[in-house]
A and B are shown apart, each in its own frame.
Chain A
Amino acid sequence: DMQMTQSPSSLSASIGDRVTITCRTSQSINKNLNWYQQKPGIAPKVLISAASTLQSGVPSRFSGSGSGTDFTLTISSLQPEDFATYYCQQSYTSTRTFGQGTKVDVK
């Protein structure tokens, strides 16, 4: 079974901060890694697909990198609307898996 380790589980940050979230998989998944943002009471929204492709309409302050087993989501300058929970998700195997989530809140 594919294991995914997302870290940190939560972080506190200020407006304008650079934020980095990491996701590690138990086996190589090439670039089959996606990132989602979820705000309370709302369905998740895809931010990044295939490790680094910014989805249409997503601000350029979001970026993704990595391949193999180690991946990173970066928010270059945190904005008020970015306080949310972020999830990584792999689709290398036929059984999809999510990371545990990272909650980003106000410092």
Chain B
Amino acid sequence: QVQLVQSGAEVKEPGASVKVSCKASGYTFTTYDISWVRQAPGQGLEWMGWISAYDGNTKYALDFQGRVTMTTDTSTSTAYMELRSLKSDDTALYYCVKEGEDSGTRYFHHWGQGTLVTVSS
């Protein structure tokens, strides 16, 4: 079965960077895009961007452009999301998500367990 296993919780100071990993199994990694979605405490879902696991192409949400980098390592079926210049309002649960497709519509099919990133001095 499809599994996305994310790295553990992180505590960072303002201005630092964080890199979250997402190891995929149970499917051919290069066949599907990976998106990253975050959720601040008590708030809604916020899409950050996606990466093609096939060719490494990326698309980032405007709010994160210049501050986020998404990469993949196809040899280990792992996706990474690095967020720089952290601020307190980056404190959130970060999810990696494998996309699915239905009649040409992409949707967020399989979700990782989430990685809590806390930004605090």
Q: Is the interface of B mostly helix, strand, loop or mixed?
A: strand
Given contacts A32-B105, A34-B108, A43-B95, contact A98 B47 (CB under 8 A): yes
- A31-47 vs B, CB cutoff 8 Å, 1 = contact: the mask equals 11110101000011110
Q: What's the least CB distance linking A59 to chain B, in Å?
A: 18
Do B62 and A89 touch across chains, with their CB atoms under 8 A apart? Answer: no
Interface size on A, residues (CB 8 A): 26
Query: Which residues of B approach A to under 8 Å, CB–CB?
Result: 35, 37, 44-47, 50, 59, 61-62, 95, 100, 102-109, 111-114
A–B pairs, 14, beta carbons within 8 Å: A43-B95, A43-B113, A44-B45, A50-B102, A50-B103, A89-B45, A91-B105, A91-B107, A95-B59, A96-B50, A98-B44, A98-B45, A100-B44, A101-B44
